[in-house]
């Protein structure tokens, strides 16, 4: 099956990159290449913070160059091979360059804050840094929809008046005030379709890709929006922030503790040694192996809840099931991945499980598939 092969290739690349990255970082520290690089940079840079930045940027860009061939294969060649991309090579390079620049603009101050905390608080660096990351996450949640996304997509007001009336009605019925519904030119990059509920406070908004709006009926789009409203109604965004913040504190504590006790394994003494810092992502990757499936279990639970909400508020289960099947086909999603793969890697349930859960919910609530409002002509 085409979708199965596509997803297996991407999964294989993901696993390969993870394992290779881990081995390279361990080898970089264990064989003292990191120490050689630090000593080399010290010949030219005396300031500790500039030395730290130079070390991080040099190793980071080296990683980008090393993995460029496989990233090109995964994100450009493979997407074109399976007829999913609208990008030329030049546009693909430009979009990635924009992403890199924005990552540097945001990431460099965070890196400097981290290194300051490490120097200022020693073994307890993780605690103030976790508070800083929480503040940054809240600010980012408010700014990303209005500042970052417009740098990548043209975002315009949603102009389907009939759907606006429907959405306003179902939102009011559920006590949700919806003012910001936008569409974005997803088709500039891909033929896939998607929608999202993003932002906090006044910046919260529903975003609908033009690839969705151009290929789905009003009934189908209504169920998609109802699903996104379900995430807000069930307070998934707030829950994710709370859970993510708690996990961030716990993760940083574990990383800091394991970093401290493992320094001498690699021949280091001080926490602040720049050459020792790659030990941090080693532990972060190992902890991520435990956290990833747990996070995905929670994410899939939220998706089921949003699905139930969409059906309950629209009473259009067949339209929603049709939409999910069309999205699965359009995005070349794996209809029935291996249970272990789904458990570990998938943030959304497979279409097979989602439809099964929807039908079970319909039986429990006494909803018949015939209870569908057909698209008005």
Residue 309 has pLDDT above 70, yes or no: yes
- CA–CA distance, 148 with 4 (Å, rounded to integer): 33
What are 136's strand-pairing partners?
none
**pLDDT score at 369:** 66
What are 113-170's pLDDT values in tens digits? 999 999 999 999 999 999 999 999 888 888 888 899 999 999 998 888 888 888 888 8
Residue, of 46 and 372, whose pLDDT is higher: 46
With a cut of 90, say whether residue 174 has pLDDT above it.
no
pLDDT at 173: 75
Token pair for 336 = 């029935």
Residue 38: give the domain boundaries: 1-377
Is 148:199 a contact under the CB 8 Å cutoff? no
pLDDT of residue 372: 43
Quick one: three-class SS letters along 161-230? Answer: HHHHHHHHHHHHHCCCCCCCEEEECHHHCECCCCEEEECCHHHCEEEEEHHHHCCCCHHHHHHHHHHHHH
Q: Report pLDDT digits (tens) over 319-368.
A: 999 999 999 999 999 999 999 999 999 999 999 999 999 999 998 888 77
Domain count, the chain: 1
pLDDT for res 205: 81
Residues 237-258 have a mean pLDDT of: 92
Spatial separation of the C-alpha atoms in residues 323 and 316, rounded to whole Å: 11
In the predicted model, what is the mean pLDDT of residues 181-185? 90
Please give the residue that has the higher pLDDT: either 158 or 376. 158
- Give 3-state DSSP helix, strand, coil % of the chain, rounded to 5: 75, 5, 20
Taking residues 235-263, what's their average pLDDT? 92
Q: What is the pTM of this model?
A: 0.89
Encoding tokens for residue 272? 């602040």
Task: Considering only residues 197 and 292, tell me which one the structure prediction assigns the higher pLDDT.
Answer: 292
Q: Is residue 376's pLDDT more than 60?
A: no
Residue 377 — very low, low, confident or very high, per pLDDT cuts 50/70/90? very low
Percent of the chain predicted with pLDDT > 70: 97
The secondary structure element, H or E, covering residue 156 is: strand 155-157
pLDDT digits (tens, 9 = 90+) for 55-85: 999 999 999 999 999 999 999 999 999 999 9
């Amino acid at each position: 099956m085409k979708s199965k092969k596509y997803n297996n290739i991407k999964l294989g690349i993901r696993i390969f990159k993870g394992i290779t990255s881990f081995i390279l970082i361990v080898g970089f520290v264990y064989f003292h290449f990191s120490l050689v690089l630090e000593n080399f940079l010290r010949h030219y840079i005396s300031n500790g913070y500039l030395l730290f930045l130079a070390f991080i940027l040099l190793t980071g860009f080296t990683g980008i160059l090393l993995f460029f061939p496989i990233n090109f294969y995964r994100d450009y060649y493979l997407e074109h091979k399976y007829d999913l991309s609208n990008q030329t090579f030049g546009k693909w390079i430009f979009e990635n360059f924009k992403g890199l620049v924005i990552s540097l603009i945001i990431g460099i101050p965070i890196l400097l804050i981290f290194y300051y905390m490490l120097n200022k608080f020693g073994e307890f660096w993780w605690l103030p840094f976790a508070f800083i990351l929480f503040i940054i996450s809240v600010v980012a949640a408010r700014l990303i929809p209005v500042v970052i996304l417009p740098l990548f997509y043209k975002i315009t007001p949603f102009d389907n008046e009939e759907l606006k009336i429907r959405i306003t009605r179902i939102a009011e019925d559920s006590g949700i005030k919806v003012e910001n519904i936008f569409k974005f030119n997803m088709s500039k990059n891909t033929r896939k379709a998607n929608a999202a509920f993003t932002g906090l406070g006044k910046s919260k908004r529903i975003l609908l890709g033009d690839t969705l709006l151009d290929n789905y009926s009003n009934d189908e789009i209504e169920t998609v929006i109802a699903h996104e409203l379900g995430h807000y109604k069930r307070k998934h965004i707030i829950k994710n922030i709370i859970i993510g913040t708690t996990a961030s504190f716990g993760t940083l504590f574990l990383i800091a503790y394991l970093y401290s006790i493992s320094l001498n394994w690699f021949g280091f003494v001080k926490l602040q040694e720049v050459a020792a810092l790659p030990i941090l992502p080693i532990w972060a990757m190992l902890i991520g192996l435990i956290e990833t499936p747990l996070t995905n279990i929670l994410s899939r639970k939220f998706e089921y809840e949003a699905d139930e909400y969409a059906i309950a508020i629209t009473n259009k289960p067949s339209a929603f099931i049709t939409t999910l099947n069309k999205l699965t086909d359009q995005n070349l999603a794996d209809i029935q991945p291996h249970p272990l793969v789904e458990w570990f890697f998938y943030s959304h349930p497979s279409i097979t499980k989602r439809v099964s859960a929807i039908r079970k919910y319909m039986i429990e609530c006494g909803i018949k598939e015939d209870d569908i409002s057909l698209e008005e002509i």
